[in-house]
């Protein structure tokens, strides 16, 4: 085990992990769907509602000023966490899905025309497919797809062949939720920029597990969700380069995102408020800030090293099961193990594992084109986090043996 990584101590910070499910100790291996929350995040939500609950940016009274301070402090933490250039480049959203839609319906509608091309990959989550399909239907643009290799990697040579002066936007996932593959987004971005295209990176699965430096990547947009980063549900982030955001029209309109309104004309607010209409999820933002503090205290390098150990251990264990097939075998991947088990339907696998207290995800993982690529309807997916242990992986293996016994 990684020297100095005190996983047993860390587990005590997550109250939900101490419970039993179906009479068995909970083994939570569904972190790619959502993460569990440390007590400090839970406390931050309670503290907001008990001590400073008030609307932000709109009041001169003390509670409003305190809430605003905490809300904007969280924005600064996010900016530092992904190394954005300024707080103004951090837009609060409800999650990765809304962040991608914001780009599609603000930048996209404003800049994409008939005959233009948008490139995505064959391993995208539906949230990074459907908005671009709708945009293409609306504008007459064409959607191009980067193919996936048998090991679950993007074919970079084919990507290069797809790029042209017609390419206006490239939107790719940083880490696949279905395969675990970590893509070379810095290279992908540089190739797109060489032809004048803008780039969006879906960081929903990468931000909780590795250091993200948006300035080093060079992308124009980066989207991620709070709930996968040990923070609350309903809060997310869109990073955008200020020069790009400045030239975009607002995605939603109403209060907060305006500087002045008359019946003749509306003048929009400055960044980031221009894209934040209405009363925001104040507690959620503060909770995300607390989650970032927690992750930073542990250290993303330590988290990444430990999770890589778990992945290697889990891969070796699962490969010993004769009828089990791992889907996604890239040499560069996060701690995700998607698999099939002979002819046993993944839903049956998940149901039996649940009876043993083991929580995994089964289905197409909102990535149906990935399933089609591998000729399968679904997979069972065990996705790990830094509070998981090798012993829990052993429990998973024992649970899979139980599945095989039931269907023998």
Query: What does the pLDDT look like over 29-70, one tens digit per residue?
Result: 999 999 999 999 999 999 999 999 999 997 889 999 999 999
Confirm if 143 and 87 have CB atoms less than 8 A apart. Answer: no
Region 116-123: what's the mean pLDDT?
98
Q: What is the pLDDT of residue 2?
A: 55
User: Distance between CA 56 and CA 68 in Å, rounded?
Assistant: 5
Confirm if 226 and 281 have CB atoms less than 8 A apart. Answer: no
User: Above 70 in pLDDT, residue 3?
Assistant: no
| pLDDT tens digits for range 170-186 | 999 999 999 999 999 99
The angle subtended at Cα 269 by Cα 263 and Cα 274, nearest 5°, is 110
Confirm if 239 and 89 have CB atoms less than 8 A apart. Answer: yes
User: Above 80 in pLDDT, residue 99?
Assistant: yes
Least trusted range by pLDDT, from 149-153, 265-269, 368-372, 395-399: 265-269
Long-range Cβ contact pairs of 10-16 (< 8 A, separation 24 or more):
10/298, 10/386, 10/387, 11/387, 11/389, 13/38, 13/39, 13/40, 13/294, 13/387, 14/38, 14/39, 14/387, 15/39, 15/42
The angle subtended at Cα 322 by Cα 329 and Cα 349, nearest 5°, is 80
**Length of the chain, in residues:** 408
Judge whether 219 counts as a catalytic residue: no
Question: Which class for 384: exposed (0-12), middle (13-18), buried (19 or more C-beta within 10 A)?
Answer: buried
Confirm if 152 and 123 have CB atoms less than 8 A apart. Answer: yes
Q: What is the pLDDT of residue 233?
A: 98
Region 196-207: what's the mean pLDDT?
98
Confirm if 110 and 85 have CB atoms less than 8 A apart. Answer: no
DSSP 303-346: HHHHHHHHHHHHHHHHHTSTTEEES---SSB-SEEEEEETTB-H
User: Distance between CA 38 and CA 11 in Å, rounded?
Assistant: 9
User: Distance between CA 197 and CA 371 in Å, rounded?
Assistant: 29
Domains of the chain: 7-30+299-406 (3.90.1150.10), 42-296 (3.40.640.10)
The pLDDT mean for the chain works out to 96
DSSP 198-264: EEEEE-TTTTTTS---HHHH--SEEEEESGGGTS-TT-EEEEE-HHHHHTSPPSS-SSSSEEEE-SS
Q: What is the pLDDT of residue 112?
A: 98
**CB under 8 Å to 128, separation ≥6 — which residues?**
100, 120, 171, 172, 173, 202
The angle subtended at Cα 399 by Cα 344 and Cα 181, nearest 5°, is 70
Confirm if 38 and 294 have CB atoms less than 8 A apart. Answer: yes
258 beta partners = 268
Q: What is the pLDDT of residue 252?
A: 86
Confirm if 26 and 20 have CB atoms less than 8 A apart. Answer: yes
Q: How confident is the model at residue 262 (pLDDT cuts 50, 70, 90)?
A: confident
Region 153-166: what's the mean pLDDT?
98
pTM for the structure as a whole: 0.97
Confirm if 169 and 119 have CB atoms less than 8 A apart. Answer: yes
Q: How confident is the model at residue 100 (pLDDT cuts 50, 70, 90)?
A: very high
User: Above 50 in pLDDT, residue 1?
Assistant: no
Element (H, E) at 196: none
User: Distance between CA 380 and CA 340 in Å, rounded?
Assistant: 6
| Residue 287 in tokens | 């909770």
User: Above 80 in pLDDT, residue 96?
Assistant: yes
Q: What is the pLDDT of residue 4?
A: 76
């Amino acid at each position: 085990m990684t020297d100095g990584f005190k996983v047993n101590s860390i587990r005590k910070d997550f109250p939900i992990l101490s419970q039993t499910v179906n009479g068995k100790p909970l083994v939570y291996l569904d972190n790619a769907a959502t993460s569990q929350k440390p007590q400090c995040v839970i406390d931050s939500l309670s503290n907001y509602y008990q001590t400073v609950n008030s609307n932000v940016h709109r009041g001169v009274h003390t509670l409003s000023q305190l809430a605003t301070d905490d809300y904007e402090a969280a924005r600064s933490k996010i900016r530092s966490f992904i190394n954005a250039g300024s707080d103004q480049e951090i837009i609060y959203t409800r999650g990765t899905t809304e962040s991608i839609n914001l780009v599609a319906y603000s930048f996209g509608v404003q800049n994409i025309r008939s005959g233009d091309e948008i490139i995505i990959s064959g391993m995208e989550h539906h949230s990074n497919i459907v908005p671009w399909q709708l945009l293409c239907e609306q504008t007459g643009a064409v959607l191009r797809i980067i193919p996936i290799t048998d090991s679950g990697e993007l074919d970079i040579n084919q990507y290069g062949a797809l790029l042209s002066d017609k390419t206006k936007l490239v939107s790719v996932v940083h880490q696949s939720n279905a395969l675990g593959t970590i893509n070379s987004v810095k290279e992908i971005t540089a190739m797109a920029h060489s032809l004048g295209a803008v780039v969006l990176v879906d960081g929903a699965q990468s931000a909780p597990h590795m250091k993200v430096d948006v300035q080093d990547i060079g992308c124009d947009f980066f989207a991620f969700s709070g709930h996968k980063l040990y923070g609350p549900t309903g809060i997310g982030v869109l990073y955008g380069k200020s020069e790009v955001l400045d030239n975009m029209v607002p995605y939603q309109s109403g209060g907060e995102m305006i500087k002045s309104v008359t019946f003749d004309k509306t003048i929009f607010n400055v960044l980031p408020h221009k894209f934040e209409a209405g009363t925001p999820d104040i507690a959620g933002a503060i909770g995300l800030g607390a989650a970032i503090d927690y992750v930073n205290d542990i250290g993303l390098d330590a988290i990444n090293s430990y999770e890589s150990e778990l992945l290697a251990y889990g891969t070796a264990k699962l490969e010993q099961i004769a009828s089990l097939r791992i889907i996604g075998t890239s040499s560069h991947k996060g701690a995700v193990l998607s698999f099939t088990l002979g002819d046993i339907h993944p839903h049956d696998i998940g149901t039996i594992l649940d009876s043993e207290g083991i929580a995994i995800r089964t289905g197409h993982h909102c990535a149906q084109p990935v399933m089609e690529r591998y000729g399968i309807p679904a997979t069972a997916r065990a996705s790990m986090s830094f509070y998981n242990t090798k012993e829990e992986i052993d429990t998973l293996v024992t649970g899979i043996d139980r599945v095989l016994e039931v269907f023998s």
